[in-house]
Amino acid sequence: MSKIQKGLDKAKKDAEGASSAHAGRSSKVRRPLPESVVPLARKKALEFTGETHHLEEDELIRRGLLAPLDHAQLLADEFRRIKRPLIDNFLKNLGREMSDHMNLVMVSSAQPGAGKTFCAVNLATSISLERDLSVLLIDADVAKPHISDVFGLADRPGLIDVLDDDSRSIEDVLVRTDMNDIQVLPAGQRHAQSTELLASDRMALLMHDMAKRYSDRIILMDSPPLLATSEAQALARQAGQIAFVVESGGTTVQEIQAAIELLDPEKAINIILNKSLYTQVGGYYGGSYGSYGYNETL
């Protein structure tokens, strides 16, 4: 049995045994959060000041990026399990040269529809509750910028604008949200040469600068699917870790193997088995919820 298949089998077994725990989200999105954590979630160090962008929780639920409130507790527990190996990998490398970018995590999948954007958003929300860490969520799926669209940031300048215009800086286009003070870098304008921009020296310099400038920040990149576009391969070169989302019953072992072959084998590759848990009524949360199953550098 291959290492990938063993990992998926373990993921399914973990999913079957998952238990519920208390949810954790900011009171601004009406998710229960311990009183001792709320002030800390509000006091994250930010490098800019300005208007906070409001996110409508009902809209995020309707568009499938958050689970309904009656499933929030189980969801919060699952993403606590997902985030821990990613954070541990980062913390083990603190104090070293940040060229390995272990705080820069690319969230991707083999094909569309696996739930990678759902996982990226909920990972960001869970990590933002850490006492000593802040989160930057990058919408790097520039061909289909789902985060920018659902968050109401589709008309804002973003990553592509910074890459295309040397006079712009990341700080000019960052958006602070009222969802646990998560910062978002929108995708920005559509561009015919987006692949080349993402593979450019300027992109490499920007990612290196963001990765090493803030030692308390986890950067999550919502990437295009690896087998659907060439942009994902360009992004993978910048990331220190990969969170690879596998759709239970949807992504084939052949697709997983083909996608992983496009990645640097030296990188930490974390597999998230998604859409593996059924609700009591027999459906999926928001269309794309599942369980963490396997974490290993392949």
pTM, two decimals, is 0.79
Q: What CATH number is given to the structural domain containing 16?
A: 3.40.50.300
> Does residue 208 lie within any of the structural domains?
yes
187-241 confidence digits (pLDDT tens): 999 898 888 999 899 999 999 999 888 778 999 999 999 999 888 988 999 999 9
> Does residue 220 lie within any of the structural domains?
yes
**Burial of residue 249 (number of CB atoms within 10 Å: 0-12, 13-18, 19+):** exposed
> Does residue 50 lie within any of the structural domains?
no
* Nearest alpha carbon to residue 236 among 284, 269, 213: 269
Per-residue pLDDT averaged across 243-250, rounded?
92
Q: Is the pLDDT of residue 41 over 80?
A: no
95-139 confidence digits (pLDDT tens): 666 568 999 999 999 999 999 999 999 999 999 999 889 999 999
> Does residue 195 lie within any of the structural domains?
yes
Torsion angles phi and psi, residue 54, rounded to 5:
-85, 135
> Does residue 54 lie within any of the structural domains?
no
* Nearest alpha carbon to residue 41 among 153, 151, 136, 127: 127
Into how many domains does the chain fold? 1
Q: Are strands 217-222 and 241-247 parallel, antiparallel or unpaired?
A: unpaired
The rounded distance, in Å, linking the Cα atoms of 219 and 136 is 5
Between 117 and 13, residue with greater pLDDT: 117
The residue with tokens 């803030």 is 214
CB neighbour burial string for 21-39, b if at least 16 within 10 angstroms, e if fewer:
eebbbbebbebebeeeeee
pLDDT at 288: 39
> Does residue 103 lie within any of the structural domains?
yes
Those residues whose C-beta lies under 8 Å from the C-beta of residue 288, and which sit 6 or more positions away, are: 64, 114, 115, 118, 119, 274, 275
> Does residue 164 lie within any of the structural domains?
yes
The rounded distance, in Å, linking the Cα atoms of 93 and 88 is 9
Ranges of H-type helices in 30-169: 38-42, 57-62, 72-92, 116-127, 146-150, 159-164
> Does residue 233 lie within any of the structural domains?
yes
Residue 188's domain comprises 3-44+59-295
Rg (CA), the chain: 18
* Nearest alpha carbon to residue 244 among 23, 21, 85: 85
**Burial of residue 132 (number of CB atoms within 10 Å: 0-12, 13-18, 19+):** exposed
> Average pLDDT of the chain?
79
Q: Is the pLDDT of residue 63 over 60?
A: yes
